[in-house]
Structure 1
């Protein structure tokens, strides 16, 4: 307190008990700006650690509002459009014969559009069913092959298939052993057959005429 003579303001420690440090002179022997910076530093260190720096703000985008029920359009199938049109015709007094009210006309056009799209939808459904059947058949065939492979002793067959031996260069194949016949069993019958074939071949080809 005070303008020129700085003193500590009088304050109480307890009720009706004045602090002994009251009314003491304050000598300022430091620059006011340095003093303010030192006060800020002391206040900052006296704060809890969580309050020393500002919390980082995360802004989440607002979710897109849902469309009102009146604007939600469900998938219009042939049966749903037909039922909607017949229900409206049954309860509307202005839809008589070929005449329609505003809502009746909209329902009629939806029904006609569904009728036009029905062949394409039927073709897509049939194609999807055929694809599902083929997938089921492939899975069944794979399961049958797996069962057969396990039944026939798959480990032994696989071991035999993977057992490979290097062939010696210049050696004959194991399928051409000495037990195979290298000549005709009946040489006389073989010679007669060759002679007959030669005579037939000679009759078919005429002799060349002399020039």
Structure 2
């Protein structure tokens, strides 16, 4: 399988989940840390970013991988168009999480440390809720300064900012969605939060595993005796 990342912070969390859930997988990580920087600078996915995402996934298909995982919610909508041109199955890391949130409650909180992730995640949550015929209301929050702290190496500061923002948001909603893979490491520290807190690596890799299981089996060639 190939995993397409827009920065280094998503590599380890997803690697850990794949090792746990699909231990025999061979993983090719494709990392371009300029993608998220360009999206943040523009405030949205640009045609150039979408083109590079398409190129990386086409390259992954050229490597003959069985499946591709998109690791970044900020570029998830660009991946939707890539699916029209790439025959290799593509799983988005956050689709299963958005679906699960829609099952849990009608008032969903979405929290991010990068503003460009918020709107795509909200649209995805509403899309999944619509597919399930569930009416939802979404409240959003930005954990200001957390992502910058993480990039500067101050993980403790990042965690403090995000946990504080989650605690406040949890009092207003039925379930909290962590919009970025980089926030998932906080889940074990959130046991006292009054509502469920969902992160994408575990459910996203579980969806990846299910998709792998649904792929057509390739029969070994029979030998003539």
Query: TM tier, shorter chain?
Result: under 0.3
Report 1 or 2 for greater relative contact order, CA contacts < 8 Å, sequence distance ≥ 6. Answer: 2
Q: TM-score, normalised by structure 2?
A: 0.15
Q: TM-score, normalised by structure 1?
A: 0.16
Higher radius of gyration, 1 or 2 = 1
